[in-house]
Amino acid sequence: MRELGEWAADVLRTRWLSMRVNREKLVAVYGERQQKAVLETIATALSEIRRGTVMPALVAARRGPLDRG
């Protein structure tokens, strides 16, 4: 597991700003309701990261050798 911390928050912030600027295009692709939900979801995630209740992380798993028993 690797914590992504402020880097992930910066990426989300940039994504949120980009989506706000290109709102008309998003509405054309997703529809008004979906576009609004996506923006609200990103804003909520940013808020939770700032409060420390959520920590963005990359979780990877490796599969061990096959048991050929």
Write phi, then psi, for 2 (nearest 5 degrees): -130, 120
Quote the pLDDT of residue 7: 87
Q: How confident is the model at residue 27 (pLDDT cuts 50, 70, 90)?
A: confident
Q: In this structure, how many other beta carbons lie within 10 angstroms of the beta carbon of residue 49?
A: 19
Q: In this structure, how many other beta carbons lie within 10 angstroms of the beta carbon of residue 7?
A: 10
20 Cβ contact list (under 8 Å, min separation 6):
39
pLDDT at residue 20 greater than cutoff 80: yes
